[in-house]
Structure 1
Amino acid sequence: MRKAVVKTGLPAPLGALPDQQAIAAHPCRPRFQVLGLLAITDGHETVVLQPSKPTSLLAALLLHPGAVVSGELLQRVVWGDRPPSGGRSALHTCVLRLRRLFSKYGVADHAIEAVPGGYRLQADAETLDLLHFRDLLGRASAGDDPESALRLARAALGLWKGPLLGNVHSDELHRDHVPRLAEERLLAVERVFDGELRLGRHREMIAEAREAVRGQPGHEGLSALLIEALYRSGRRAEALAEYRRIHAHLTSELGVEPGAALRGLQLAVLRGEPYGGRP
């Protein structure tokens, strides 16, 4: 299985030549990345894994950190709806290939445990960016200081890089798991914009909020945050225009009306009333 080795934080050239010692040569604890292209990093070099069956297997285990993933699910992830005859044996062989890959990059081969019913991969916030993301966002939600909460939320959002698992060719994962991850990212985006509004930075966030809405034109939460930012910036006409846009999108594309929160926001804008109890 070929890998692309890139400097951390730089775009991954998928045609790059592999350097099998790039990560093993560094003493730092290896870290898995799933919030973008599936990769292994030590903080100095990042190895972007090429599409393969072991890559799909690793992705499935990392999306369920510390949990037992059944052999049946792993077979569907790796081979789709047509697993090979002797599926358990083929899965075992795939696990062995993944363990050999681990040995090249300083990951202990016992990181993957064979347990009754399937396999498990232990990870924590230091070894998996997904858990680091959830930890940062949880701390942002639990904190009392709005400045600190916003910094944590932005740090969490900053962990997302590039197309989500774009180098993992598994219909199972992209159908049932990747959309859930994308929803987690959107929650982080909402958290960031909410934090900006709480700190009275409504003017500063408008351009960023517009870009987010363009990417998710039917997302009521993002649209509501943009409308509020525009309204609080004295741009009432633009706020109402955004409400009309999402109303038209929801009714024409989904056949539904905006939810109660969005309707309440529109009414506040029409009446010129305060909204949200923010400064």
Structure 2
Amino acid sequence: MAAEAGAGSGARFTVLGLLAIADRRETAVLQPSKPASLLAALLTRPNAVVPVESLQRAIWGEEIPATAKAALHSCVLRLRRLFAKYGISGSTIEALPGGYRMTVDTRTLDLLEFRDLLARADRAAEPAAELGLLRAALALWQPPVLGNVHSDVLHREEVPRLSEEWLRTVERAYDIELALGRCREVLAELWSLARSHPAHERFWEQLIEALHRTGRRADALAEYRRVRDHLIDELGVEPGPALQRLELAVLRGESLTPDAAPAVREPNLRAAAVAVRPAAEPSGAPAGTVDSTTGDVVLAGLVQAGLLAEGPGGHYHVHELLRAFTRAAAGSWARAPGEQDPAPPASCA
């Protein structure tokens, strides 16, 4: 097999960083060129027949010249000559009806080794073993991915797909780290990840959770404000439900268990605004029931004070000051008489 020929020479292709060919003696980083774009297009779809049209787009973009078919064949010949220098069989690139295929395996392509480690991690019996395999997989990445390949098509279509695999792997690794109670050990890494991926909310969730579980509640809230400001300023959106629930849990001082996100009730605006009957109730009226008339009066007062803006359909737009107040206080309103305050957050060793 072609893959065996490559493996026997000790040669290996890399795409999880700069496109390169390595053997026992040296690593050759390819210069930006049409053959390099062709090789990257084949290696990002390993062992699959890549249509000629897709390869041409990877090399020339959307404006494919009339001579592209002959030029593509010339690029294949140049790659085969390059492979010969590293003891790689020319048949590693196979010409098949409709396209070309690059035959590789876990020994000859870092991308396939990465995916194999992920599959093994998924079958691991223990979290620590899974984490070790995930860390080994992540160690294969040396960004920028395909930084020496000048192909807009590949950077638009293939690199984001590969980056998504990396993101999901990193998320899983830190989920396990937090579940194992290693909050302090990963704080610096999570800080760096959140700063370098400001729109990726899962990293912020993990950072905020780690801070809260190590007793750094103020820092956790500051990081929530940071990501919220970024999302609003750059994307015009509020944080997602998971981040909002996490902020609410931190405000309430709830314990975050390592194996599940906190189950948090959203505050009810009307319940928060209405007044509860005083202790002297009319005969037959249950103590602690809500006087809806008084509630409407309070709501009207909040609107008049500028803390609420009444909209269509009976909905209200809430001023940020009132939003913060209702979130912070919702936990005490929701508790039954005599119920204790939530336990302090679990700390990590």
Measure, in 2, the Cα distance between the counterparts of 1:179 and 1:198.
28
Measure, in 2, the Cα distance between the counterparts of 1:207 and 1:84.
50
- Aligned partner of 1:149 in structure 2 is 130
Name which of 189, 212, 216 aligns with 2:197.
Answer: 216
Contact kept? 1:84, 1:90, Cα under 8 Å: no
Shift of 1:59: 0.2
Contact kept? 2:51, 2:98, Cα under 8 Å: yes
Shift of 1:172: 0.7
Measure, in 2, the Cα distance between the counterparts of 1:116 and 1:28.
29
State how 1:216-235 maps to structure 2 within 5 Å: 216-235=197-216
Shift of 1:42: 2.2
Shift of 1:27: 5.7
Matched, 1:88 2:69: yes
Measure, in 2, the Cα distance between the counterparts of 1:209 and 1:134.
23
Contact kept? 2:51, 2:100, Cα under 8 Å: yes
Aligned residues: 255
In the alignment, residue 90 of structure 1 is paired with which amino acid? A
What is the DSSP-based 3-state SS (H/G/I as helix, E as strand, rest coil) of the residue aligned with 1:120?
A: strand
- Please, what TM-score do these two structures have when normalized by structure 2? 0.70
Contact kept? 2:34, 2:75, Cα under 8 Å: yes
- Aligned partner of 1:48 in structure 2 is 29
- Aligned partner of 1:35 in structure 2 is 16
Measure, in 2, the Cα distance between the counterparts of 1:144 and 1:228.
26
The range that moved more, 238-247 or 35-44, is 35-44
State how 1:50-89 maps to structure 2 within 5 Å: 50-89=31-70
- Aligned partner of 2:149 in structure 1 is 168
Matched, 1:259 2:228: no
Gaps of 5+ in 1: 1-23
Contact kept? 2:183, 2:214, Cα under 8 Å: yes
What is the DSSP-based 3-state SS (H/G/I as helix, E as strand, rest coil) of the residue aligned with 1:47?
A: strand
What is the DSSP-based 3-state SS (H/G/I as helix, E as strand, rest coil) of the residue aligned with 2:18?
A: coil
- Taking only aligned residues, the RMSD between alpha carbons, in angstroms, comes to 1.8
Measure, in 1, the Cα distance between the counterparts of 2:77 and 2:114.
29
Gaps of 5+ in 2: 260-345
Measure, in 2, the Cα distance between the counterparts of 1:270 and 1:91.
60
Shift of 1:159: 0.5
- Aligned partner of 2:90 in structure 1 is 109
Measure, in 2, the Cα distance between the counterparts of 1:154 and 1:95.
35
Name the % identity.
Answer: 60
